[in-house]
Structure 1
Amino acid sequence: MDEAALVMAARDGDQRAFADLVNAHRNQIWAVCLQICGNQHDAEDALQATLLAAWRNLDKFRGEARFSTWMHRIAANNALALIRKRKANTTLTDFSDPEAPVTLDADDSAPRFDEQIALRDALRDALQQLSDDIREAVVLREFGDFSYADIAEHQGVGVQTVKSRLNRGRTQLAQYLRVNTTVEP
């Protein structure tokens, strides 16, 4: 069954068709939630809210954009709403020394896997330092494989604004990683 037929079946209440639609895009939807939220627990909450919202609002999907674009928009909006809510309701205390850089074990026998994990964690921390609009653009482009035009439509801005946000985001990420890690971005 093609995507349009699956959407029609899901609108008629076919949960299997909806599951097929979601399964085709689940990895990208999860990546968007995880990268925007910054942790698995919040990403799971955002993903659950996304799936529920998509199911409840299938009748509002007009088909002007691809189904995946529509789902990514819902995921990004839910993830951003969740972190805004958490920020408003939570006071975070950082007990670490802000002057101490993150370092990896310099032992040459350390597996490359450790460096990958350290870089992933540092990147997640760096993403949290970006403003919401820049983080969303970076996540949609780098983890959601969105085109500039799709991101522009999603954010309600022009393509040049998206390119500017991506440029600023990449610059800020690289700067954060250079200052806060020993891993090269």
Structure 2
Amino acid sequence: MDEAVLLFRARDGDQHAFTELVGAHRNQVWAVCLNICTNPHDAEDALQNTLVAAWQNLHKFRGEARFSTWLHRIAANNALSIVRRRKANTQLTDFTDPDQPVELVDDDGPAFDDRVALRDAVHDALAQLSDEFREAVVLREFGDLTYADIAAQQGVPVQTVKSRLNRARTQLAEIMKDRIGAP
């Protein structure tokens, strides 16, 4: 069904239309929450808060940006809020979840333990970035947002987004180099 029709029906209180509307973006929204929070439990909270906030504020969506951009913004804000609360209460440590299933695929790629180590290193590296840098990287790489969409999300010019992404990628490369000894 057309997104505009779903949006109209959802604004009229149709929960099934809302479910279909956000369902089209669920994987990207989850990726945004998970990669900003770096902790699956916090990401679940952020995702739940995002869905509740989107439903409660659907009437405020003006249509000036795409619905997915608006939803990603809510997700990023909720995830950052959880990260800030967590930082206020604890120091950043290892947030890997040993109970989280990891796909065991026999392919020609890196060995299983290498993939797990790389995933953990990426999560740790993302956690070390400033909130603005982490948000920009996650929205670009995991949310597939354009520079313009990220700029609108962060309330900054497009050039600032490009600069943040460049600096964040440089920092990530350095962190990863130190962490896994990459050249």
Smaller-chain TM-score bracket:
0.7 to 0.9
The 3 A distance-change label for structure 1 pair 168 and 63 is same
1:30-62 Cα shifts (integer Å, max 9, x gaps): 000000000100000000000000000000011
| Deviations, residues 111-165 of structure 1 (Å, cap 9, x unaligned) | 6222122111100100011000011000000000011111111111111111100
Answer with 1 or 2: which has the greater Rg.
Answer: 1
Q: 1:166 to 1:51 in 2, by over 3 A?
A: same
In the TM superposition, what is the alpha-carbon distance from 1:22 to its structure 2 partner? 1.1
Q: By how many angstroms is 1:89 displaced?
A: 2.2
Structure 1 equivalent of residue 158 of structure 2: 159
What per-residue deviation string (whole Å, max 9, x for no partner) do you get for residues 54-84 of structure 1? 0000000111111100000000000000110
8 Å CA contact 2:147–2:158 kept in 1: the answer is: yes
Matches within 5 A, 1:75-154: 75-91=75-91, 112-154=111-153
SS at structure 2 position matched to 1:145: coil
- Counterpart residue type for residue 147 of structure 2: Y
The equivalent residue for 2:55 is 55
State the one-letter code of the partner of 1:22.
V
Matching residue of 2:30 = 30
Q: Which runs of 4+ in 1 moved over 6 A?
A: none
Count of equivalent residues = 169
Partner Cα distance (1:35, 1:85) in 2: 16
**How many angstroms apart in 2 are the aligned matches of 1:164 and 1:181?**
25
Distance 1:91 1:64 in 2: 38
**Which residues of structure 1 form unaligned runs of 5+?**
95-110
Task: Please name the residue that 2:177 is paired with.
Answer: 178
SS across alignment from 2:10: helix
List alignment gaps of at least 5 residues for structure 2.
95-109
Partners of 1:23 and 1:92 in 2: how far apart?
Answer: 31
Whole-Å separation in 2 of the counterparts to 1:180 and 1:92? 16
User: 2:8 matched to 1:8?
Assistant: yes
**Following TM superposition, by how much is the alpha carbon of 1:92 offset from its aligned partner in structure 2, in angstroms?**
5.6
> Which residue is equivalent to 2:67?
67
Cα distance between partner residues in 1 of 2:62 and 2:129: 32
| Paired residues of 2:126 and 2:134 also in contact (CA < 8 A) | yes
Q: Could you tell me how far apart the structure 2 residues matched to 1:157 and 1:82 are?
A: 22
Could you tell me whether the CA contact under 8 Å between 2:92 and 2:127 is conserved in 1? no
Cα–Cα, structure 1 residues 85 and 174, in superposed 2: closer, same or farther, change >3 Å? same
Identity of aligned residues (%): 73
Distance in 2, Cα, partners of 1:43 & 1:93: 16
Alignment of 1:33-48 (within 5 A): 33-48=33-48
